[in-house]
Amino acid sequence: MSDFSIAQLRQLHELACKVARIAGDYLREDQLRRRKVALATREKLNSVDLVTAADEGVEKIIKDTILAKYPEHAFIGEESYSAGEEKRFLLKDGPTWIVDPIDGTVNMVHMFPMTAISIGFCLESIPTVGVVFAPFLGGQGMMYSAIRHPEGGAWLSEFGPDGPITPLPLVSPPPPLPIDAPKGCLFFGEYGKDRRDHPQSNLTKKAANFVNMATEIGGRGGKGGMVHGIRSLGSSTMDMVYVAAGQGDIMFEAGCWEWDVCAGIAILLQTGGIVVDSNPPSDLKDSDPIPMANLGGRRYLAIRACSEDSNGRSARAQQEALVREVWKRTERLDYQRPM
Ligand code: IPD
Ligand code: CA
């Protein structure tokens, strides 16, 4: 375990919360300016992979603030990564910030409010502090955050003109998972940016996975999952924090990156959720333990925290059973890291 004390982690959390709010003010002002001047966008991978001056502006605010205080820490940000030559997974064991300045850039372009500033901090490659600030939700923003530590915690705060309105601790024992899960679950899944069209493309298979999850029990050759609903918010960060907060049950996304999920995973893990690879391992037996996700693996399946159920099944047993049920309905997706 790292030699960071809870007091040090609290300082990092406080700094991340503070800079997330500064970045949120910047984005709200930016949206006001748009009433006069249309937002300029540039394409990265394709016409749905967009970057705006605000993405770069917010990343600079966050990076400069954090590195001024902690120059010895490493920093991985979506926009610096996209602009750079180095495309390997850069996370090492030392203290490292992983930041998405704006998750849900397409939403922001359309003024759809599912847009989040996502600030994660890893120790020994494990998401340890997470702050996700959605500046267009609630009065003046909603913040989900956590410190992963026995004396840490996870919180949800709504902001108003005078600051936070009663932060809510997120860890009150959440209910058991639905007894026949995935039946009855709320499922978050993203179509993502890989829009290639052929029978084996990621988009074709993702769509099949989502239809499997939604179809009635017995349908689709036994793959029907009859979930209560499928939600696609356009922000993997928001999908992850809703599941972390128990405001949904399952998050499934492949093709996104470590900065889309790092902060959300810190919050999810602190509340008692789990995250695994969204592809089923090829040779996993029923008795084998389920491996957790690789943060740089670009495929994530998260299950919310839960209490013991009426059959005496532990939270972990319910979560692992649900993971196996989702995997049964999942075609394997292929997202490589650029070399
Ligand atoms: C994207 C969003 C989207 C997900 C993509 C991400 P961006 O991030 O999280 O929901 O499907 O994989 O890249 O571009 O808005 O920062
Ligand atoms: Ca993102």
User: DSSP letter string over 57-73?
Assistant: HHHHHHHHHHHHH-TTS
Residue with tokens 């070399």: 339
Query: Would you say the CATH fold of 186-329 matches that of 6-169?
Result: no
Confidence of residue 2 (pLDDT cuts 50, 70, 90): low
The reply to whether 78 sits in an annotated binding site is yes
CB contact at 8 A, 273 and 303? yes
CB contact at 8 A, 97 and 46? no
Q: Which ligand is nearest to the CA of 191?
A: 1
pLDDT in tens, 6-56: 999 999 999 999 999 999 999 998 887 776 666 677 777 776 776 678 878
Whole-number mean pLDDT of the chain?
92
The ligand 1 atom at the shortest distance from the C-alpha of residue 234 is 10
Nearest to 269 by CA among 102, 160, 145: 145
| Separation of CA 267 from chain center | 9
Any atom of ligand 1 within 6 Å of the Cβ of 115: no
Cα 62 to Cα 67: distance, rounded to the nearest angstrom? 8
Any atom of ligand 1 within 6 Å of the Cβ of 255: yes
The ligand 1 atom at the shortest distance from the C-alpha of residue 253 is 11
Cα 225 to Cα 339: distance, rounded to the nearest angstrom? 36
95: pLDDT strictly greater than 70: yes
Neighbours of ion ligand 2 (CB under 5 A): 100, 103, 260
Strand partners, 168: 156
**Token couple for 214:** 């939604």
3: pLDDT strictly greater than 90: no
Of the ranges 1-5, 14-18, 238-242, which one carries the lowest mean pLDDT score?
1-5
Cα 152 to ligand 1 centre (Å): 29
The reply to whether 102 sits in an annotated binding site is yes
Cα 149 to Cα 179: distance, rounded to the nearest angstrom? 30
pLDDT in tens, 223-235: 999 999 999 999 9
Cα 219 to ligand 2 centre (Å): 34
In Å, how far are 86, 119, 335 from 46, measured between CA atoms? 20, 25, 16
157: pLDDT strictly greater than 80: yes
70: pLDDT strictly greater than 60: yes
**Token couple for 79:** 């926009």
In Å, how far are 92, 96, 273, 275 from 269, measured between CA atoms? 20, 18, 5, 8
The packing angle between helices 53-69 and 6-33, to 10°, is 150
Percent of the chain with pLDDT over 70: 94
| Phi then psi dihedrals of residue 138, to 5 deg | 65, -160
**Token couple for 84:** 């750079």
pTM (predicted TM-score)? 0.94
Q: Where does 186-329 sit in CATH, by number?
A: 3.40.190.80
Q: Where are the domains of the chain?
A: 6-169, 186-329
Fold of 6-169: Fructose-1,6-Bisphosphatase; Chain A, domain 1 (3.30.540)
Q: Which stretches does DSSP call E strand in the chain?
A: 41-43, 50-52, 74-77, 96-103, 116-123, 126-134, 142-147, 153-160, 163-169, 186-189, 229-231, 250-254, 274-276, 299-303
Greater confidence (47 vs 178) lies with 178
Mean pLDDT on 194-201: 94
Any atom of ligand 1 within 6 Å of the Cβ of 107: no
Cα 290 to Cα 249: distance, rounded to the nearest angstrom? 18
3-state percent breakdown (helix, strand, coil) of the chain, nearest 5? 30, 20, 45
